[in-house]
Structure 1
Amino acid sequence: MARRLRIGIDTGGTFTDVVALDEEGGGVVTTKTHSTPADPAEAFTAGVGKALGLLGAEPEDVAALSHGTTVATNRLLEGRIDDLGFITTEGFEFILEIARQSVPDGYGNSYFWVKPPRIVPVHRVRTVGGRLDHTGAELRPFDEESAVAAARWFREAGILAIGVCFLHSYADPSHELRMREILAREHPDAVVSLSCEVLREYREYERSVTTLVDAAVKPAMTGYLSRIAGRAAAPLLVMKSNGGVLSAEEVARQPITTVLSGPAAGALGAAFVVAHSGHGSVVTLDGGGTSTDVAVVLDGEPTLTTEGTIGRHPVKIPMIDIVTVGAGGGSVAWRSPEGALKVGPRSAGADPGPLCYGRGGTEVTVTDAHAVLGRIPPHLLGGEVPLDVDAAAAGVDALAKELGLTSERAAAGVLEISAWNQANAIRQITVKRGLDVRDYPLVAFGGSGPLLACRLLDVLGMPAAVVPENPGNLSAFGLLTVDVKNDYVRTRVVRDAELDPALIAGVYADLEEEAMGALALEGFGPGEGRVARSADLRYYGQAFEVRVPAPAGEPDDAFRAEVVRRFHDAHESLYGYCYRDDPRHPVEWVNLRVSGIGPIARPRLPERPQGDGDPSRARTGTRPVYFDGWEDTPVYRRERLAPGDAIEGPAVIEEFGSTIPLHPGFTAELDRHGNLVITANTRA
């Protein structure tokens, strides 16, 4: 009899992480394999094969595969956007050049700032006659002649990826749909993205760029998904930035929805795991080989945003609010022209990787510093990846001489700078958003996430750090906790006092019908899926909105009043004030949103039996480790610990996918769900 296995595969910059779940027996297997940047599909296939081998299973035992990928994100971050064209409304050919007047960090700090190149240079922009107003009413008919001329120009220029964004097409998509028909006839080889399908809400610049980003990554993403789907013997689901998964076939139509999919899975996995231990609101820190991703979980749900950016491109799709910093294990340490020690954002990646990997690396990385100071073992992944500590030491020695430091001071400096880079990312997603970082425990995971946890508690004053079981594979595990989810939006700008509830009811009905139809295509029958409503509101005259959940039921006057009340509450919580019952500041509705959600069976997290409180059974020996100085430090195997066991620092706690250096003055205790909770013994 075939087993029912679900497998999560998260492709990172250095390693590809795999978690396999036996739905019937409840068993979980975790493993890793080196990423293959030249063709990520190779690591995907190798990782699945490795997991099946550990389980003694066959490909036909796999019921579903869930995948988090960085293919779309990496193309944008690396600027690999070639041969991209843009079709827009006549008279708006410079919309990308005009962009927004805002500059990074304000005008006072950006005197020498230069506007970056546009995603599509103006010579690859073509316009088409025709005009709609903001209600969707046609002011001028669609000009077929100019549309044909634009399609033929792109065909003759050999431009295969094209984004189409006409003015106010969020209100009526008919002109864009006609443009696609013409492109299909005149330029059949073109890959086309329409703004009415990518982002059906107002603000022309952001909608244009979001559509163009989708078009830019669509060829690479479609090819990648087709390669791995062809090798998979089970349905393939792909993680989206909004915190849900969707079938590969649907994701290939809107690949922009996969940006930041891996970090999103990590935040969701962390929220799922620590919720069982009573932590509803936390800061998550996902430390990988290339970067570190941080997010905030409030009451069990990661915060969402539609104001994200990928590289220099604004992307207004719903996504988990994540701040990424180039401070991973592979981040390169270097001496600046002024003589200062710097770390990142450049990474040694998977190939060649850090010096200690012995794969041809030539530069000192954060992982090398950890190896030289004894904070990680002389091998990774349970011995699968032996480390050349001597090569790392030679590299650190050379860097130390450049800086005029001892080797220990240089290596410790690398780790200190990396910790402050991570701390600044955490401040950015908490303090800059009005949250007191001292109110939230830190959930540290990823291969390098727990390595600096103690120092982050010191720097930020956070109450505790929680390190889940198998932290190096938590993002892959998170893929197995995620529902199928799709988002739909319509812009309806109207003041609350003038709002007809029938308008809201009609829009929500259309969006919910669309959402339930999409869930049916994903295999969810009647009654198996659900919808969640939300709305974007603002005070009249404001430039940006606040999103609030909207209740179920008939959208009547009581519904409208409840949404407005929630808006006032959310505005006061975010900004410290609101204009409740103040007619001088009327409320304005902007966007109505619906998410279609298809629930999946989640893994079980059983409680473990209480231990005797003696961690000595887990001790495997000692080795010299440098904290404030060199000392023989006890080493423990995490899998031998039991709930209630407490370890006093200094110590090193090792497991298959990660290591926890426990600094002097800190205690780590295993809770009933297998999480290690790190706290400082005293606070200054």
Structure 2
Amino acid sequence: MGRRLRIGIDTGGTFTDVVALDEDTGEYITTKTPSTPSDPAEGFLAAAAKVLAGDGPLPAEAVGLSHGTTVATNRLLEDRIEDLGFITTEGFESVLEIARQSVPDGYGNSYFWVKPPRIVPVHRVRTVGGRLDHTGAELRPFDQAGAVRAARWFRDRGIAAIGVCFLHSYADPSHELAMREVLRREHPEAVVSLSCEVLREYREYERSVTTLVDAAVKPVMARYLARIIERIGDRASARAPARLHVMKSNGGVLSAEEVVHQPITTVLSGPAAGALGAAFVAARAGRGSVVTLDGGGTSTDVAVVLDGEPTLTTEGAIGRHPVKIPMIDIVTVGAGGGSVARVSPEGTMKVGPRSAGADPGPLCYGRGGTEPTVTDAHAVLGRIPPHLLGGEIPLDVDAARAGLAELAATLGLSVERAATGILEISAWNQANAIRQITVKRGLDVRDYPLVAFGGSGPLLACRLLDVLGPPAAIVPENPGNLSAFGLLTVDVKNDYVRTRVMRDTGLDLGAVAAAFGDLEREAATALDREGFPPARRRFARTADLRYHGQAFEVRVPAPAGPVTEDFRAEVVGRFHDAHEALYGYCYRDDPDRHPVEWVNYRVSGIGPIDRPRPRERPPGDGDPSRALVSSRRVHFGDGWTETPVYERALLAPGDVIEGPAIVQEFGSTLPLHPGFRAEADPCGNLTVTRAERE
């Protein structure tokens, strides 16, 4: 009998990362394969085959498989949205054109900003008669004849992806459900998304766009997952796992069979897994609250973890499309290893957001790249080894130097100065993203250690400590595979929401209890389908509250148990506290002039999994020289220095390395600048601090 592996596979822009946990021995297997942007399924299948084949005499068997995917995200970022139709309430056909009055970057650019094209052009919008009020009461009956005309109009034009959003259907979905039945009869080939199933929450514009985004990615996600499920067994020479799970933006996973019905929930799949993996690693190291930095080949994703949990939001966007779904609060910048360096029309150096990607990739990959990148700068300065992935990808440092020489000549700089400038700009791009996720949310970045991971995440860790001043940077073991590892730590999770606006004064506790009860029953039904018995289920409540007259709400946790007066008082108290923390004030003592309103009620249904239990390493003798494998010339910004190179796998807990030094491993490299030190801990992490802090 072969090994029984639980596998996490995260598909990034440049590499596909794999972590496998041997269910019997607790051993971890990590590897990477190049991503295949033209056909992401090929990269996924190659990664699965690689880890299942292994080095042993016996074949491995996949007993579980979790996947972080960028298929839905890339579809939206690249604006590959075709033949999408929209059905809405009669008289509201311009909801997408009206949109919101907000202008990106404030009023400074408002004179030059041009409203982008709508996700569905006006000529592919059809309306149907019928009207509900905000309580769900029917004002005008559903127009069956009009619904048939709309369905036939889309059928006759071959438009097979359709989003349906009727006014106030969050309060009563009956009209939308009736529309789906008409589409099934008249246009059976159509793939339909209903707003009452995608986002049962008020605000018509956001609900409409979120529903249309779901409809836009549903066909491609269905094909992608069907192909993987069909071929994983043949390609890996092992039986397909009992169930393929896909990472969701909300920090949970869901079976592939369910995800195809709600593909919009995967739009931040990969970055969410990274944030959860970082939270798991930081908690084991005794750090409950951290800033996470996931540096990849195409971009860098940053998030905040508070008390062991990544912060969540529903105010997100993918490209130009607002999506109002629960998602881990992540800021993404085009500052990855493949980010291209160029001279702007103004004569200054720019780095990113355009990326060389996986193919052709940076100049040093030798695959036909023509522009210098961040990775090329690291290679020229000696900060990464002359090969990647343990020798699987040799680097052509001479090609990188030649490309950088052209850029440097244009700017009148030496090659080393140009390379250092590229890395400095990249570091500040990352620092600004971290400020956006912390300072703009009322958090002081100096209070939170930085967890740096991803293939390129640790490369600029020392510079970020200088720029931002966090107390330390934690570099996990196998940082390049942490997102894939995070997939093994994630529970099954579904989110449900209802809108019903009520004043806190004289609050109808029965209505609140009914709302939470309905949501918990929905969540329980979904967990039934996922195979979780009642004893293994958990429900987490939250509520969105605001002061009367405010346009937006603040979400706070709500306790379990009966909805009583004590329940109400506790939730309202949490709202006042959260409002004061966010905005610096609250109206706790003035309820008559500033009454509180309850707006949305939310329940997350959670099916807990058995999390990995990594083993702690025994301490060493305190002498890191056992890990010293070579030395090479490295440029840290002020000249070339002969620098010791350490193999991370040979370090033991308690070992301390003083910079300048290079710590290398299979999937990533940590350049330890002069004036910094790194200490290995029992969990396999390296904690980087400024030497003078000790």
Q: Deviations over 1:273-295 (max 9, x none)?
A: 11011100000000000000000
Aligned to 1:476: 484
Aligned to 2:236: none
Q: 1:567 aligns with which of 575, 596, 619?
A: 575
Aligned to 2:74: 74
Q: Is the counterpart of residue 541 in structure 1 residue 534 in structure 2?
A: no
Matches within 5 A, 1:218-257: 218-232=218-232, 233-234=240-241, 235-257=243-265
Deviating 4+ runs (over 4 angstroms): 57-60
Does the CA contact (< 8 Å) of 1:380 and 1:386 recur in 2?
yes
Aligned to 1:647: 657
Cα 1:673–1:496 shift into 2, 3 Å: same
Does the CA contact (< 8 Å) of 1:200 and 1:489 recur in 2?
yes
Cα 1:436–1:13 shift into 2, 3 Å: same
In structure 1, distance between residues paired with 2:566 and 2:573: 10
What displacement does 1:366 show?
0.4
Aligned to 1:26: 26
In structure 2, distance between residues paired with 1:342 and 1:59: 49
Q: Is the counterpart of residue 132 in structure 1 residue 132 in structure 2?
A: yes
What displacement does 1:3 show?
4.1
Q: 1:611 aligns with which of 611, 620, 630?
A: 620
What displacement does 1:499 show?
1.4
In structure 1, distance between residues paired with 2:46 and 2:667: 17
Does the CA contact (< 8 Å) of 2:53 and 2:60 recur in 1?
no
Aligned to 2:270: 262
SS at match of 1:242: coil
In structure 1, distance between residues paired with 2:223 and 2:21: 28
Q: Is the counterpart of residue 434 in structure 1 residue 450 in structure 2?
A: no
- Greater mean deviation of Cα atoms: 42-51 or 107-116: 107-116
Q: 1:510 aligns with which of 507, 514, 518?
A: 518
What displacement does 1:432 show?
0.6
Q: Deviations over 1:482-522 (max 9, x none)?
A: 00000000001111113111111111111111101100100
Matches within 5 A, 1:298-309: 298-309=306-317
SS at match of 1:142: coil
Aligned to 2:610: 601
Structure 1: tracts of 5 or more residues without a match: none
Does the CA contact (< 8 Å) of 2:303 and 2:437 recur in 1?
yes
Cα 1:497–1:58 shift into 2, 3 Å: farther
Does the CA contact (< 8 Å) of 2:26 and 2:614 recur in 1?
no
Does the CA contact (< 8 Å) of 1:29 and 1:55 recur in 2?
no
In structure 2, distance between residues paired with 1:41 and 1:305: 29
Q: Is the counterpart of residue 192 in structure 1 residue 192 in structure 2?
A: yes
Give the total of aligned pairs.
684
In structure 1, distance between residues paired with 2:345 and 2:692: 40
Letter paired with 1:591: N
What displacement does 1:110 show?
2.9
Does the CA contact (< 8 Å) of 1:237 and 1:247 recur in 2?
yes
What displacement does 1:60 show?
6.8
Q: Is the counterpart of residue 329 in structure 1 residue 337 in structure 2?
A: yes
Q: Is the counterpart of residue 369 in structure 1 residue 377 in structure 2?
A: yes
- Greater mean deviation of Cα atoms: 505-514 or 467-476: 505-514
What displacement does 1:229 show?
1.2
Aligned to 2:145: 145
Aligned to 1:113: 113
What displacement does 1:59 show?
6.9
Letter paired with 1:170: Y
Letter paired with 2:33: T
Aligned to 1:665: 675
Does the CA contact (< 8 Å) of 1:72 and 1:221 recur in 2?
yes
Structure 2: tracts of 5 or more residues without a match: 233-239
Q: Deviations over 1:28-63 (max 9, x none)?
A: 000000001111111111111111122638777211
Q: Deviations over 1:304-329 (max 9, x none)?
A: 00001111111000000000000000
Does the CA contact (< 8 Å) of 1:162 and 1:191 recur in 2?
yes
What displacement does 1:480 show?
0.1
Q: Is the counterpart of residue 620 in structure 1 residue 629 in structure 2?
A: yes
What displacement does 1:581 show?
2.7
Aligned to 2:42: 42
Matches within 5 A, 1:388-403: 388-403=396-411
In structure 1, distance between residues paired with 2:496 and 2:60: 35
Q: Deviations over 1:397-428 (max 9, x none)?
A: 11111111100001111100000000000000
In structure 2, distance between residues paired with 1:412 and 1:57: 47
In structure 2, distance between residues paired with 1:466 and 1:452: 12
- TM score, norm. by length of structure 2: 0.97
Does the CA contact (< 8 Å) of 1:52 and 1:58 recur in 2?
no
Cα 1:555–1:651 shift into 2, 3 Å: same
Letter paired with 2:269: S
Q: Deviations over 1:139-169 (max 9, x none)?
A: 0000011111111111111111110000000
Aligned to 2:158: 158
Aligned to 1:413: 421
In structure 2, distance between residues paired with 1:410 and 1:74: 31
Aligned to 2:235: none
SS at match of 2:687: strand
Q: Deviations over 1:567-613 (max 9, x none)?
A: 11111111111111312111100000000000001111222111111
Aligned to 1:316: 324
Percent identical residues: 80
In structure 2, distance between residues paired with 1:425 and 1:524: 39
SS at match of 1:183: helix
In structure 1, distance between residues paired with 2:62 and 2:217: 29
Letter paired with 1:529: R
Q: Is the counterpart of residue 171 in structure 1 residue 179 in structure 2?
A: no
Q: Is the counterpart of residue 380 in structure 1 residue 388 in structure 2?
A: yes
In structure 2, distance between residues paired with 1:183 and 1:59: 48
SS at match of 2:91: coil
SS at match of 2:505: helix
In structure 2, distance between residues paired with 1:200 and 1:57: 52
Does the CA contact (< 8 Å) of 2:3 and 2:59 recur in 1?
no
Matches within 5 A, 1:553-564: 553-564=561-572
In structure 1, distance between residues paired with 2:4 and 2:15: 26
Q: Deviations over 1:176-232 (max 9, x none)?
A: 011111111111111110000000000000000000000011111110011111123
In structure 2, distance between residues paired with 1:55 and 1:88: 57
Aligned to 2:237: none
Q: Is the counterpart of residue 500 in structure 1 residue 492 in structure 2?
A: no
Does the CA contact (< 8 Å) of 2:54 and 2:60 recur in 1?
no
Q: Deviations over 1:633-673 (max 9, x none)?
A: 11000000011111111111000000000111100110111
Matches within 5 A, 1:256-295: 256-295=264-303
Cα 1:44–1:506 shift into 2, 3 Å: same
Letter paired with 1:191: V
Aligned to 1:528: 536
What displacement does 1:105 show?
2.0
